[in-house]
Amino acid sequence: MARKNDIEKKTEDLLTPIAEANGVSIYDVEYVKEAGEWYLRCYIDKEGGVDINDCVNVNRALSDALDVDDFIEEAYTLEVSSPGLGRQLKKDRHFQNSIGMDVELKLFKPRDGVKEFAGTLKSFDDTSVTVTINDNDETFIRKEISVIKLALDF
């Protein structure tokens, strides 16, 4: 796990000046293995949203930087994209920017027979997240949450 975190951190360090030069911010970086293949996913954002040109420009510059530094041993696929409308909240900055927004969350284990909840993100701290559901504040321990993301309203 430490190696995965090291790769994500080093990639974010390489990505930071590239993102700044392209007028975007880093939302998240993840290094994951899916179906036997490694993926290095970088999510970028900006006011008004990113477009395909933002993703292509950042991808090219980051790919070149990764080739020079060459710190990832195994073969992987680099992906640069928007975090999307239903973006996951993982880091404190994600939670901070989402206070007052509608969220959906899933728990690893049911609470009173229920694993999925939806409401408005009220607050968070290092160990918990509070969501207002039907005018009641419900506090969830962060370790109990399998995923929390912005709700999609259509």
| Residue 62, pLDDT score | 98
For the domain made up of 92-150, give the CATH fold.
Answer: SH3 type barrels. (2.30.30)
Give the pLDDT confidence of 28-61 residue by residue, as tens digits: 999 999 999 999 999 999 999 999 999 999 999 9
Taking the C-alpha atoms of residue 43 and residue 66, their distance in angstroms, rounded to an integer, is 16
CB 45 within 8 A of CB 83: yes
Superfamily of domain 2-81: RimP-like superfamily, N-terminal (3.30.300.70)
Domain with CATH 3.30.300.70 in the chain: 2-81
| Residues present in the chain in total | 154
Domain with CATH 2.30.30.100 in the chain: 92-150
Q: If DSSP codes are grouped into helix, strand and coil, which group holds residue 60?
A: helix
Residue of 31, 27, 39 lying closest to 5 (CA atoms): 31
Give the pLDDT confidence of 60-113 residue by residue, as tens digits: 999 999 999 999 999 999 999 999 888 999 999 999 999 999 999 999 999 999
pTM to 2 decimals?
0.81
CB 39 within 8 A of CB 60: no
